[in-house]
Amino acid sequence: MGRLDMKTAFAAYVKESVGRSSASKVISQPPHAAYVHIPFCRQRCHYCDFPIVVTGDHLEVEKRANLHENYFNALIREIGLESTSGRPRRALTSVYFGGGTPSLASARDISNVLRTLDSVVGLESNCEVTLEMDPGTFDLAKAREFQSIGINRASVGAQTFNPELLKLCGRAHSVDEIYQAVENIRSAGIQNFSMDLIGGLPTQSLETFQGSLEELIRLEPSHLSVYDLIIENGTKFARLYSAGSSPLPSEEDTSEMYRMASLRLQEASYVHYETSSFALEGFQSAHNQTYWRNEPYFGFGLGAASFLDGNRFKRDGRMGGYMDWVSTASKYEDLEMPVEEVYTFQTEVEEFIMLGLRTAEGLDFEELSRRFDEDIAKNVFKSLKGQERHHVHLEDGLLARLTSPEGFLVQNAIIVDVLKNLPF
C-alpha cells in the first residue's frame, strides 16, 4: 500500500473505532462487589490524603458515639436508596470495609451495614467480607464480635516493623500492637488476613525494609500488599519531603526494595498476582480483582468511588457535603452523580489494558477480541511484542503478562507505549 492508501485506510479505521463510542456490555452488567468507607481514625498518618475524620483518642465518648451514629445512619440510608435504582441484581461476592479505620466502628454498626447490603443487593453465601483492622484499635473480644457478624477477611495495616519509621509516619500504634493484632485476629478465627508494607519511606534503608519484610513473612499472612510511598499533595510528608530527594531513598534503593519483596515473597510461596499484591495460592483478594478486571462495583460512604453504568463517581470527601448529598435524596434518582467523562469504547479499552497489565494474569488477547475487537487485540499484541523480553512474557501469542518483578517495575512506561499505539 502506498503512503496515501495507508493514511486513508487508517483514517477510516480510526473513524470506525471512534464511532463505536459505547462501552462493552461488561460495563453495564450488575455489580457484584461493594466498597464501604468508614472514615474514622485516631489520628492522621503523615502520608495519608484519604477522606477521613480524626476522632482522636481524647474525644469524649458521647461525642464520638454521635459522630458514628450520624455517619452510619447516612451510610445505611445511602445503601437503602440503591433499592430504588431498578438495577438488575446479582448477589455480592465481596464487600470491603475500608477507611479510615473501620475497626474503630462497633461490630453492631458494621453488622447493620452488612444486613442492609444483604437486603438491598444480596450477599452470596461465600461472600468475601474484608474489614481493615488497624493494630491498637481492637482486642480479642472485638475481633470475635467482628468474626461473628460475618467478617471473614481482615486487612492489617502494619506498614513497617521499624518503631522509628512507625513514629515518623504518624502511625497510632506500636510494633508490639501489630503482633497483638495478628494474634487476636487469628484467635478470633479470622485466618484469612492481609498485611500492608510500605517501601520508600523517608530514611528507610534496604536493611530496615528487609527486616520488616522478614517479620511479615514470619507472621504468615495469607495476603500481602507491598507498595511505594507516594508523596501526596496536602499531606504532612509533602510539606517535609520532595519526591526524588533525600531523606527519601533513591530510585535505585526503592527499586531494590520492590525487587527484594517480589523475589523473597515468591520464595516464601506467595504469588505475585498483581503489581502490589501477593497471596498464598487461593487467597487472592476477590474484591480487588473486580477492580482489575474493570468490572462495575458499588461504593458507599464518605469519599467512596463507585463504577456503575460506566460512571466512575467519587462521593464528596467532606462529611457535611456527603451528609447533605444523602439526606436530601428520597430515592436513588435524587442522588446526583454527575458524569465527569462519558465512558466510551476508548476509555474502556484503555482502562482494561491499564488494569489488566497490573495483574499476573495479564491480558488475554481472545478476551480483548471478544470484549472489544480483533484489531484492538492485534494492535496491543504488536505493541507488547516490541517490548523487552524480560519485561513482557507472551504466551503462545494468546496471553501477555508483565514479568515479576522486572516488568511490573516499569509498567507505566509499557502501558503508555501500548496506549500510545492504539488508534484513538
**Residue numbers at the binding site for other proteins (CB under 8 A):** 35, 98, 225, 227-228, 230, 251-252, 254-255, 258, 275-276, 288, 290-292, 297, 299, 303-307, 312, 314, 340, 347, 350-351, 354-355, 358, 386-388, 391, 408-417, 419-420
Q: Which is nearer to other proteins, 129 or 143 (CB)?
A: 129
Q: Which is nearer to other proteins, 149 or 158 (CB)?
A: 158
We find the least distance from the C-beta atom of residue 345 to other proteins, in angstroms, to be: 15
Q: Which three cell numbers stand for residue 361?
A: 494474569
We find the least distance from the C-beta atom of residue 243 to other proteins, in angstroms, to be: 9
Separation in Å, CA 338 to CA 222, 296, 313, 320: 39, 17, 8, 18
Q: What's the DSSP call for residue 385?
A: H
We find the least distance from the C-beta atom of residue 128 to other proteins, in angstroms, to be: 14
Q: Which three cell numbers stand for residue 393?
A: 512474557
We find the least distance from the C-beta atom of residue 237 to other proteins, in angstroms, to be: 14
We find the least distance from the C-beta atom of residue 61 to other proteins, in angstroms, to be: 31
Separation in Å, CA 177 to CA 107, 150, 158, 292: 20, 24, 9, 32
We find the least distance from the C-beta atom of residue 373 to other proteins, in angstroms, to be: 20
Helices assigned H by DSSP within 190-304: 206-219, 236-240, 251-267, 286-292
Q: Which is nearer to other proteins, 103 or 255 (CB)?
A: 255
| Bond prior to 88 in cis (omega within 30° of 0) | no
Q: Which is nearer to other proteins, 313 or 332 (CB)?
A: 313
User: How far is the C-alpha of 319 from the C-alpha of 321, rounded, in Å?
Assistant: 5
We find the least distance from the C-beta atom of residue 60 to other proteins, in angstroms, to be: 31
Q: Which is nearer to other proteins, 135 or 303 (CB)?
A: 303
Q: Which is nearer to other proteins, 35 or 97 (CB)?
A: 35
We find the least distance from the C-beta atom of residue 216 to other proteins, in angstroms, to be: 16
We find the least distance from the C-beta atom of residue 344 to other proteins, in angstroms, to be: 13
Q: Which three cell numbers stand for residue 285?
A: 483478594
Q: Which is nearer to other proteins, 49 or 124 (CB)?
A: 49
**Residues 6+ positions from 122 with CB-CB distance below 8 Å:** 89, 90, 91, 92
User: How far is the C-alpha of 100 from the C-alpha of 97, rounded, in Å?
Assistant: 9
Q: Which is nearer to other proteins, 184 or 275 (CB)?
A: 275
Instruction: State the sign of the Cα–Cα–Cα–Cα dihedral 236, 242, 246, 250.
Output: positive
Q: Which is nearer to other proteins, 241 or 292 (CB)?
A: 292
Q: What's the DSSP call for residue 258?
A: H
Which contacts (CB < 8 Å, 24+ apart) does range 363-372 have? 363/399, 363/400, 363/401, 364/398, 364/399, 365/397, 365/398, 365/399, 365/400, 366/398, 371/24, 371/26, 372/24, 372/345, 372/348
Is 233 exposed, middle or buried, given 0-12, 13-18 or 19+ CB atoms closer than 10 A? exposed
